[in-house]
Copies of this chain bind each other. A is one copy, B any other.
Amino acid sequence: MRISEAAARSGLKVDTIRYYEAEGLVPNVVRGLDGQRRFSPENVDWLTLLYWLRETGMPMKVMQRFAALYAQGDGTIPDRKEILLDHSRLLAKRRDDLDRCDEILSRKLEIYEEYLR
């Protein structure tokens, strides 16, 4: 499929996909005879994964490493697993941060309520 559809399906913007490809984050993107990118379903799966990793705060350097491993084939699965497990721990930390912030917000809002009475 074309880049606009890949964007719609993955959640990434067209510009971001091109940028990610240039930075080596998207292996195996082929071009048609017209020079345009063609995305396979596997490409789109990969982009979708990148979308969620980014959305939850994975730095590009890590994504780059992850993509390099992905490009090297199934032998790198243990390493990739390690990266995803690390990220999963980051998610837990972020959830804690959200809880902490929620707490602070509700305390602040209570104080506001008192002023408003």
A52 to B109: give the CA distance in the assembly, Å: 15
| Residue pair A88, B105 in contact (C-beta under 8 Å) | yes
User: Would you call A52 and B104 a contact (CB within 8 A)?
Assistant: yes
For A, the interface residue count at a CB cutoff of 8 angstroms equals 30
Q: Given the complex, which residues of B lie within 8 Å of A85, measured CB to CB?
A: 109
Known: A56-B101, A101-B55. A116 touches B78 (CB 8 A): yes
A115 CA to B55 CA in the complex, in Å? 27
Q: In the assembled complex, how far is the CB of residue A39 from the closest CB belonging to chain B, in whole angstroms?
A: 19
A107 to chain B, nearest CB (A): 10
Q: Does A65 contact B (CB under 8 A)?
A: no
**Would you list which residues of chain A between 99 and 117 have a CB under 8 Å from chain B?**
100-102, 104-105, 108-109, 112, 115-116
